[in-house]
Structures are given as structure tokens and as C-alpha cells.
Amino acid sequence: MEGFVGVIQKQFALTLVVAVCISGFVALTLRQHFARLCLKRQESKPFWIVQKFNDFFDFSTRLFTAGVAKILKHVIISFIVIGIMGFATYGLFQKVPKGLVPSEDKGAFDGYHLASTFNKYAKD
């Protein structure tokens, strides 16, 4: 392109090329160095609520790990318990009504309520 628009586009293209080159140089070299400087290990005592959370989290992690280890030691019993729970779930799904609203509900109250609300706002 010629003219003013062509000059602007060439300058914009040159600006993009320089920006991408600088960004690539920073991403490949300087970023790791700055991250290493910023992330030097400095151990300080955490705030008390953070310490309590960490203690609780460590406790729950140990509890979960012990539970998983116990389940892995007794695989057959675990599968039997899972099977019983699956059959119990299936049985409950067969006994519980399938619809969201019981079949006895005719919707009369909702219809009356909606009609009265509509009439109240329609008069205004």
C-alpha cells in the first residue's frame, strides 16, 4: 500500500515485530532469573489462622491416606460394600416417585396465586 495508510501499516508491523522479539527474549532469558530471585525460600512463621488450617489439612490428609491404605488392604470387602450400596441405591430409586411434583398436585394454588398477582399488577 502506498500513501499515509501504507506508512502507518508498515510502522505498525515493525512495532509488532520488535515487541514480539523483546517479549521472546524476556520470556526465554530474564523471566527465569527474576522468578528465581523472587521465589527464594524464606521460611517465616505463618499467621495463626493459616497455621491452624495447615494443621487441620495435614490431619485430614493423614486420615484420608490411612483410609485409602485400609481399603487397599481389604479389596474384596470394599467391593462387596460398594455392591451393597449400589443395590440399595437402585432399590431406593425404584421406591421413590419419579416425578418432580407428586401426581396428586393439580397446581390449583399456583394458578390462583399467579392469576391474583397478575390481576393486582394489571390494575395499576
Give the Cα-Cα-Cα angle 29, 25, 19 (nearest 5 degrees). 150
Least confident of 20-34, 39-53, 109-123: 109-123
Q: What is the pTM of this model?
A: 0.39
Instruction: State yes or no: pLDDT of 25 exceeds 60.
Output: yes
For 68-80, the pLDDT digits (tens) are 999 899 999 999 9
Backbone φ/ψ region at 2: left (φ over 0), alpha (ψ -120 to 50), beta? beta
Note the pLDDT of residue 81.
93
pLDDT band at 110 (very low <50, low <70, confident <90, very high): low
